[in-house]
Every structure is written in C-alpha cells, then in structure tokens.
Structure 1
Amino acid sequence: MKQVDVAVIGGGQSGLAAGHSLRARGLAPVVLEASGQAAGSWPRYYDSLTLFSPAGYSSLPGMPFDGNPDRYPHRDEVVAYLLRYAEHLDADIRTGTRVLEVRADNGGFRLGLEGGEQLSARAVVAASGTFGRPHRPELPGLNGFACTVLHAADYRSPEPFEGQRVVVVGAGNSAVQIAAELGERARVTLASRHPVRFARQRMLGRDLHWWLARTGLDTLPVGRFLRTPPSQLVIDNGRYRAAVEAGAPDRRPMFAGIDGAKVTWADGSTEEVDTIVLATGYRPDLGYLAGLGALDSHGHPRHQEGTSLTHPGLAYVGLEWQRSLSSNSLRGVGRDAARITRRLAAHLASI
C-alpha cells in the first residue's frame, strides 16, 4: 500500500488551491479527482453560466486569470483555466480516482478507492465541494408531483422546456438566472419562502468585488460566528431585476401544496405545471468521511475555519462560509488553503 504525505480529495478549484499551498510548504500532495479531468464540477454546470465576479477577482494562487480582468468569464473559460492550472501544478494529480471511504490508521489515514485500491496518507484535505450532493428540501406535496422534477445540477439549457409551465424554486443567483433564461421560452414562476434580494453588480463605476476587497469585507472571518448562512444576494447588472419586474419570471411565495400535476398557491389558486426546477443549493459532499466520525448527524463536518475538530491531520477547503463569504469561490479558496496547509504542515512536523 503506497503512502503519501497528504491526500487531497477533489481536483476542482479547492483541491488545486490546496495542492498549490501544500507544495509551497514542501509537502508532496496527491490530488484525487473522481471525474476524468481536474476541473471539478465546472464542466457540469448549466450552459449559459457566467461568473458574477470579474476575471481579476476569479483566480487561484500563482496564476492570474488570463484576458481582460474586468470581463465576466463564461463557464467554459473557467474550465479551460482550471485545466491550465492543473497542468502547471507541480503535484501528482490522479483523475478517474474516486475515494469511497477514509479511516483512521495508525496516526494517519487509510483511503479506500473505487476498484479496491488502498492509499495511506499522513494527512487528508477534503476538497470535494458540494456539487455531488444537491439539496432537495421537503416541500408540500413535492414527492407526489406527477410531472418532471429536477435539480439545478441537472439543468443545462432552456430548449427542452419550450412552451412549458415551469416553477423554479429558490431565490439565489442560480435560481434567478435559470428562471430568467427559461422565462424567454416558457411561462415561469420563481417560488421562494423569502423575497429575492438584489445587489448591484457595479457601483460608482466599480464592480461589487472591488468594494468587498477594498473594505475588507471579503476576508472578514464571519464564518466563525455563523451557524446558518444568511440568505443569498443576487448580484445583478439590472437584467434580472428587470426580468422579474416584467413577470418573466413572475415571483410568488412558496406553493402550499401539490396534487398530481396541479400546484396550489398560497392564495388558494391552482394550476397545472409541467416542470419544477429545484435551485435550492447543495450540501457538503463528504460521505467518504462518515466512517471516520468527522461529521455531525446532518453530514456536515465538525471543523473550525477548515481545521477538523475531530482529527488533527484532517482539514477542509471549499466549504460555504468556511471562514469568509468568499470561502467557496475561486477568489477565496486560495486564502483558506494557505491557512489550513500551514496548520497541517505544523501538525506533520510534530509527529
């Protein structure tokens, strides 16, 4: 059984940032990516996805995003950037390698891989993100809906929904973007428990992320005080607010029930619906840690700013609100990776 310094689980933005920081500390990480390329979940996002942060604020450590720093890169540009980053990263990256379980083993860890291979690691960084675990909330009557229900993780483009009656559940960036895109081809309602909260993408000629960086709000360690992340702001250049105000999509409170294909709204009215799209976010995809005792009863890691509270050689990168509001973003994972690798290096030096 091969032994390595640090096994990094996940080869997307978080795993690549962790690999970079570990190499900077003189450690030799092995990055284990389940898919066939080191781009994480980005290739599987919906076709029209465009970053709401400019290229100048969307880089991993050591390699700036190419091109005009003020532009907003498309999904495929992010994929190409991550593949270039992986190519230049001085680390052992193994694609097509899925980790099934992690167990404590003689002061370190033993990883069980798909196919039966075992790997021994002195430390582990869990950087597998959330995309593999879409959140499907309990909504009244949803389980009995007679037509199509899909999560935003399975949505690609609006063409298959031409002329349909569609309800998009959610009030965050993905929910509003998908609903507005569908609203050009279908009759769409955006249903949520809370109103949509818009934030202006540019103020006084500067992008919102410039202001976040200049004021220090982007790096403020608010994660240590939050038990539940606050409701998300929809970053908007005016397009999405205008679409909602024009009724394409219209916005309503969450439906009160479902009977077959009929949805009952809060005001008592009913109508038939063809498709419900759940843009309801994700939860940490960390099932491989279940046998280690590192997770709580809801599958969330027990950690403090990315450092495990149960195992000193275990750390996390890419959790939502891990430390700051940018912790699970391209611009934020590098900072968090640097913090946790510093602590891991100290731990490994002490044993």
Structure 2
Amino acid sequence: MTQHTDVVVVGGGQAGLAAGYHLRRQGLDHVILDAEAAPGGSWQHMWDSLHLFSPAEHSSLPGRLMPAQAGETYPDAGHVVDYLADYEKRYGLPVRHDTHVDAVRRAAGRLLVETDTGTWRARAVISSTGRWSRPFLPAVPGRGLFTGRQSHTVNYRSPAQFAGQRVIVVGGGNSGAQIAADLALDGRVEVTWVTQRPPRFLADDIDGRALFDVATARRRALDIGRDDPGGVASLGDIVAVPPVRAARDAGLLTAKPMFARLAADGAQWDDGSRSGADAVIWCTGFRPALTHLAPLNLRGPRGLIPTDGTRALGEPRLHLLGYGDWTGPASATLIGVGRTARDAVREITQLS
C-alpha cells in the first residue's frame, strides 16, 4: 500500500529533526523515516569520551536550547542523545524509527520513497542521512595483508578495546587526534599517530562557536561575490579540545608522516623504518550516504549531487540537508543545520 504526504524526510538525526521542526511550523504534512531503532541519530554510536566542541547553548537545534550538562562545559555524546530524544518528543515530530529507505524514484510529478515497511508518495523529499553509515577506508598498499585488527572511527568506543596492544591511529582530523589522545592518555596502549600532512591545531581558545561564525562569514562573502576568505580550513584541522591539549602538551601526540604500506605485522615507511602493530584504527572520514537516491541518477563530480543551496539541480523536489558545506555552511553541525533546514522548507512550500 502507498501512503501519501507532502514531504518525506529520510533520516531522523539532527538534520532530519531540524527539518521536521520547520515543516511543522509551516503546517506541511510530513513523515520522518529513520533507520535507527531509537532517537539520537549517529550520536548514540560515538566513542565514550567524545564531547562537543561548543557549550550547550551554542549547540542547539531551532526552537529549543540544549540544557547545560551538570559538571561539563562541553556536553558529552550521551547528553546530545538525550537532547535529541527530548526534542523529537517535545515537538511531536512524526519519526518512524527502524525504517530503512531503499530507494527514491520519480513518479508522475511526485517522488516515491520505497522502504522496508511500504512506499510513500510525496511532493518533496528531504534527504538527511548524513555520513556516519558510510565510513571511508583508503586504498593503502598492503591493507589486505595486515593480520592484526582493523577498525574505523565508527567502531571505536574506548581504550579498553585495545589495552596492552600496539595501535596505529591514521588520520589528521578531529577524530584522529581525539582517538589518539584518548588512547595515549589511558596509558595501557602503545600509540603511533600518523597523518597525511603535519597536523594543524587550531588556537586553544577556538571552539565550535567561532567555527560556526567563520563558516557563516565565508558563505556570506561567496554569496555576494567577494574573494574566498578561507573559512574554517584556513584556521587548522584540529580543534584543541581539553584531552587533545593535554596529550599534546604532555608530548603524547606527536604525529609521524603517513606510512607507505602495511605489512602482515605493522607499517613500513619509504625510508625503511617500521612500526609493529596489533591494530590499526582508520580515522579517515566518511562519504555521504546517498545510495537511496541512486535511481534519480543525479550524481555529478566526486560522487556528489550538484545543488543550489540544498536543492538538487536535477530534481527540484529533492533537498539535501546536513551533509556539510556542500549543502550549507556548517550544516553538519547542531547549531548550523537549523538555518539550512529553514531555507529548504521555505523552498518546498513554493512547489506546486
């Protein structure tokens, strides 16, 4: 049986909930289809020590400030999960959990959303599936020869998983630095941190509030035709959150250049040096989770869908929300996604 609604939102994490808030305000009938069994999006799968970059009041979705977490300046992931669950309930958002979207197709001026529980027909679709479900592993020579354990950021929880082991952490972004610091400060793990280029730490006083302002200023400059001021990337790659600062200042967070290849028992560099390892953690990022949109045949360069703001150029009934600067400045953040969600819903209200 096919059900009908104005808008289907695919994904019930922070971006999907922000979309739902604005759809509700505009009085548009909608449904939010979420593959997760419980509220909280990808935040419920983060590692134990993860904290936000920003205080709670600067990490909020539209309409509802995140309450402060007792004893914490920067809330942890569990606090974010509780906030998102409360947000979903507070606004009565029509989230259908444990619902997997298989495909989105065109059908007589509408879009069909096929799921494992049935099909929806809608005037518009907002895709807000994020990246967490599509971890990226680089094609490093010898990766298939390594006999130790290989994990990705998505699999990491705590140093207890690797107690007594030699671990190579690969990646010069925030997740790589934070996981390397987490392991190094624990003291039970021998850590080697490797990065493609020398790590670039942001100034210690910069947190998510400043990063959001920088990203927004860059977008405004580009929109009015000014030269690109550089944005967040011009400041550095790694936010110096307290554990990262502690490990760095203790001399525990010194990166080695990227190895040339993996062998059965560890890594090898072009200069002949080697490092034995029992495990490798790939903190090498993610790709947008867009397989459900494949039937629309919209992908362009680098596998991304060309957009004007959040609207897909090849399908005006489709909006992409929360995937990063590609679909709006800081739109992959809690505080940043509200603005792009509002703009997407405003465009949807103008569809015939």
Deviates more, 1:141-150 or 1:117-126: 141-150
1:346 to partner: Cα distance: 1.1
Report the residue type matching 2:274 in the other structure: T
The amino acid across from 2:309 in the alignment is: E
Residues 3-12 or 303-312, more deviating: 303-312
1:305 corresponds to: 309
Aligned to 2:298: 294
- Identity among equivalent positions (%) equals 36
Check conservation: 1:168, 1:278, Cα contact below 8 A: yes
Q: Secondary structure at the match of 2:17?
A: helix
User: Which of the numbers 260, 283, 288 marks the counterpart of 1:284?
Assistant: 288
Deviation at 1:128, TM superposition (A): 0.7
1:80 matched to 2:78? The reply is no
Does the alignment pair 1:254 with 2:252?
no
Asked if the contact 1:124–1:313 (Cα under 8 Å) also holds between the matched residues in 2, the reply is: yes
CA distance in 1, matches of 2:338, 2:100: 23
* Pairing 1:64–2:65 present: yes
Per-residue deviation, 1:157:
0.8
Distance in 2, Cα, partners of 1:119 & 1:62: 28
The one of 327, 330, 333 aligned to 1:326 = 330
**How many Å separate the matches in 1 of 2:67 and 2:123?**
36
1:197 aligns with 2:196: no
| Cα offset, 1:38, TM superposition | 2.5
Deviations 1:145-193 (A, max 9, x none): 1111111101111102112111111011111110011112211111111
Question: Any conservation in 2 of the 1:221–1:323 contact (CA below 8 Å)?
Answer: no
The RMSD of aligned alpha carbons is: 2.4
1:162: which partner in 2? 163
- Deviation at residue 267 of structure 1 after TM alignment: 3.0
Q: Is the 8 A contact 2:259 2:270 kept in 1?
A: yes
CA distance in 1, matches of 2:140, 2:160: 26
Q: Compute the displacement of 1:339 (Å).
A: 1.0
Task: Give the letter aligned to residue 142 of structure 2.
Answer: G
Report the counterpart of residue 237 of structure 2 in structure 1: 233
Partner residue of 1:107 out of 106, 109, 115: 109
Report the CA distance shift for 1:210/1:79 in structure 2 as closer, same or farther (over 3 A).
closer
Structure-2 residue corresponding to 1:335: 339
- Kindly tell me the number of residue pairs found equivalent between the two proteins: 341
Report how far residue 218 of structure 1 moved.
3.3
Residues 261, 269 of structure 2: 8 Å contact kept: yes
Shift of 1:201: 4.1
Alpha-carbon distance in 1 for matches of 2:47, 2:178: 10
The aligned residue for residue 133 of structure 1 is 134
1:141–1:247 distance in 2 versus 1, CA, 3 Å:
farther
123 and 148 in structure 1: CA distance in 2 versus 1, 3 angstrom threshold: same
Match of 1:42 in 2: 43
The alpha carbon displacement at 1:323 in A equals: 4.9
How far did 1:262 drift?
Answer: 2.9
Q: Look up the equivalent residue of 1:107 and give its one-letter code.
A: G
In 1, are the aligned partners of 2:248 and 2:254 still within 8 Å (CA)? yes
Residues 288-335 of structure 1: CA distance to partner in whole angstroms, max 9, x if unpaired? 001111223643222122111110110011011135542100010001
State the alpha-carbon separation in 1 of the partners of residues 126 and 164 from structure 2. Answer: 46
Q: Distance in 1 between matches of 2:69 and 2:160?
A: 31
How is 1:141-152 mapped onto 2 (pairs within 5 angstroms)?
141-152=142-153
* 3-state secondary structure, aligned to 2:256: strand
Q: Which residue of 2 aligns with 1:188?
A: 191
State whether residues 219 and 324 of structure 1, in contact with CA within 8 Å, keep that contact through their aligned partners in structure 2.
no
After superposition, what is the alpha-carbon deviation per residue over 1:104-142, rounded to whole angstroms, capped at 9, x for unaligned? 011111111114x11111100000111000011112222
Q: Point out the more displaced range, 35-44 or 294-303.
A: 294-303
Q: 1:188 to 1:250 in 2, by over 3 A?
A: farther
Aligned equivalents of 1:143 and 1:230: distance in 2?
Answer: 32
Contact 1:7–1:32 at 8 Å: present in 2 too? yes
The TM-score with structure 2 as length reference comes to: 0.90
Deviations 1:183-233 (A, max 9, x none): 12211111111111111342xxxx6444456x664353178879xx94862
- The offset of 1:66, in angstroms, is 0.9
Q: TM-score, normalised by structure 1?
A: 0.90
Change (3 A) 1:290 1:210: closer
Gaps of 5+ in 2: none
Among 324, 341, 345, the alignment partner of 2:349 is 345
CA drift at 1:35:
1.0
- SS of the residue corresponding to residue 118 of structure 1 reads strand
